Amino acid sequence: MEENKYTSEIEKLLTGEIEEINVEKEDFFLFRDVWVKHPEKDQIVGEAILGGRVIYRKNS
């Protein structure tokens, strides 16, 4: 089974290695599967962008 690419992206976001995660509309459910199970999900906030894209950042 292939690891969801957003597992490592969320960890990088929370550790400060990256500043944001851009999720396209067609990948939303891949991201959501990892995000809802993460114990620190409340630290990640999303900003909806026109066209269905969402930018997730660590809540400061």
Report whether 30 contacts 4 (CB < 8 A): yes
Provide the pLDDT for residue 20. Answer: 98
Q: For CA atoms 37, 38, 44, 47, give the dihedral sign.
A: negative
Average pLDDT of the chain? Answer: 94
Q: Of 42 and 2, which is predicted with more confidence?
A: 42
Each domain of the chain, given as residue ranges in start order, spans 5-58
Structure tokens at 30: 């891949």
CA distance 53 to 1: 26
- Here the tokens at position 52 are 């269905």
Say whether pLDDT at 16 is over 80: yes
Radius of gyration for the alpha carbons in the chain, expressed in angstroms and rounded: 11
